[in-house]
Amino acid sequence: MNILVLTNYQLYGDSSSSFVHQQARAYASLGHNVRVLVYTAFGRRICTGERMLVPLKKRTVDSVELIFMGYFSLSNFGENTFNPLSASLSLKIFYSAVAETFRPNVIHAHTLGPACCALGSYLKKKTGAPLVVTTHGSDVSIPVEQGRTRLLKPLCDHADAVVAVSSALAEKVRSCGTKTPVNVILNGFQISGVPSTASPRGCSLLQAGHLQEQKRVHVTIRAFARLYKLRRDAALTIIGQGPDRASLEKLCRESGVSGAVRFTGQLPNQEVLREMSHTRFFIMPSVREGFGIVYLEAMACGCVTVGTEGEGIADLIASGKNGFLVPPDDPEAIAGTIEWCLEHPEETSAIAERGREDAMSLTWEKNAGRYINLFKELIS
């Protein structure tokens, strides 16, 4: 099967690039031919570190062919504001250059947004291949929260199938009234990078991700401040970079915990996994989270993992069995959960082990296999 993946994720320094790439590698490992078309504004750096200065640029990473398609942004040079006219011209260049040697049987687009759906629809008309769109979280959650659910329907209607990465996200998609089938396929993760042994330190906490409001890092810091009053040996590591870093560091100082909180900045994935393997508790009380792969990584590394009720991770975590779920924006609940764990070490170890086993069952190969089954249904 020839699979054309459409995304804007394969950009320099973008942590989101990893899951698209790993899934594409999984398609290839199952014997399928894969091309990844990455649309991006001229001037932006692509995953190899080069700036995008020509309409098309081909690169091969881990045996996966990436085709970068540049367009002129509607704003400043190097910003990724979508320009439909410029993108359509670049897309015609792409099609004429690639179509003769690679005719897709299916188009798999990432994110339910105007740009991706417009480009996917164009390619669908030109090739006759079915279009499958995967939504990952905020592309649906933000319009729903803002009362703009009706805007999702025409985007869904472009596709032959929509895939949501969690049940909660699928319900949000269905609420727009689309008749396009909405499927649920949980994300996978790269098991080979997980350290073979874990040696968690006593009262150590970790959160990893982009430092922005959606990730609720400030909630984790407030929970840690409550815990730190009881446990002076407690330590919190925050991995990632983002616009909220300065305000989060200020919150640590105001809360009297700056000496016990370490900001590492952005780290390579292998280093993140190593940090997790030495940490007892992974905390990420995010909202608008489709199905964070970082939860899987933390569970596989042996962390006791705490997520948010009603979010995508609820498809995997059964609270009190293989991890914990707490109400959104509730630092007291997070602190209380950790205190309970510290008071019940044997039960907590069993919860962490069940979490590790459940996470290790979700590989990219299994994820890709479920997509392939869906693709075959659409093609037949």
Residue 254 has pLDDT above 70, yes or no: yes
Lowest mean pLDDT among 72-76, 110-114, 165-169, 332-336: 72-76
Number of domains in the chain: 2
Residues 247 and 139 in one domain: no
Q: In what order do the strands lie in the sheet with 235-239?
A: 261-265, 235-239, 204-208, 281-283, 304-308, 324-326
The per-residue pLDDT for 17 is 55
Q: Mean pLDDT, to the nearest integer, of 97-110?
A: 87
Residue 344 has pLDDT above 70, yes or no: yes
Name the more confident of 96 and 293. 293
Contacts of 187 by beta carbon, 8 Å cutoff, 6+ apart: 19, 165, 291, 293, 296, 362, 367
Residues 129 and 179 in one domain: yes
Contacts of 178 by beta carbon, 8 Å cutoff, 6+ apart: 152, 153, 156, 157, 162
Residue 368 has pLDDT above 60, yes or no: yes
Task: To the nearest 10°, report the CA torsion of 166, 355, 296, 252.
Answer: 110
Query: What's the Cα-to-Cα distance from 359 to each of 16, 195, 348, rounded to whole Å?
Result: 19, 14, 16
Residue 15 has pLDDT above 60, yes or no: no
Handedness of CA 240, 243, 245, 248 (dihedral sign): negative
Residues 149 and 262 in one domain: no
Residue 305 has pLDDT above 90, yes or no: yes
The per-residue pLDDT for 80 is 55
Reading the block at residue 92, the tokens are 């015609």
Lowest mean pLDDT among 91-105, 151-165, 174-188, 209-223: 91-105
First vs last C-alpha separation in the chain = 12
Neighbouring CB atoms inside 10 A of 259's CB total 10
Amino acid identity for residue 242 in this structure? G
Residue 85 has pLDDT above 70, yes or no: no
Indicate which CATH number applies to the domain containing 160. Answer: 3.40.50.2000
Domain of residue 78 covers: 2-188+363-379
3-state secondary structure 81-102: CCCHHHHHHHHHHHHHHHCCCC
Residue 81 has pLDDT above 70, yes or no: no
Residues 226 and 337 in one domain: yes
Residues 128 and 223 in one domain: no
Residues 234 and 274 in one domain: yes
What is the pLDDT of the chain when averaged over all its residues? 89
Residues 174 and 207 in one domain: no
Q: Mean pLDDT, to the nearest integer, of 113-131?
A: 89
| Residues forming beta bridges with residue 38, ordered by sequence position | 7, 68
Query: Residue 198, Cα to own-chain centre: how many angstroms?
Result: 24
Q: Mean pLDDT, to the nearest integer, of 299-310?
A: 95
Name the more confident of 117 and 28. 28
Q: Mean pLDDT, to the nearest integer, of 3-20?
A: 72
What is the tens place of the pLDDT at every residue in 127-173?
999 999 999 888 888 888 888 888 899 999 999 999 999 999 999 99
Residues 214 and 314 in one domain: yes
Q: Mean pLDDT, to the nearest integer, of 84-92?
A: 73
Best CA proximity match to 108, nearest among 95, 97, 96, 123: 123
Residues 226 and 156 in one domain: no
Residues 184 and 200 in one domain: no
Rounded to whole angstroms, the Cα distance separating 87 from 250 reads 42
pTM of the predicted structure, to 2 decimals: 0.85
The per-residue pLDDT for 74 is 63
Residues 56 and 205 in one domain: no
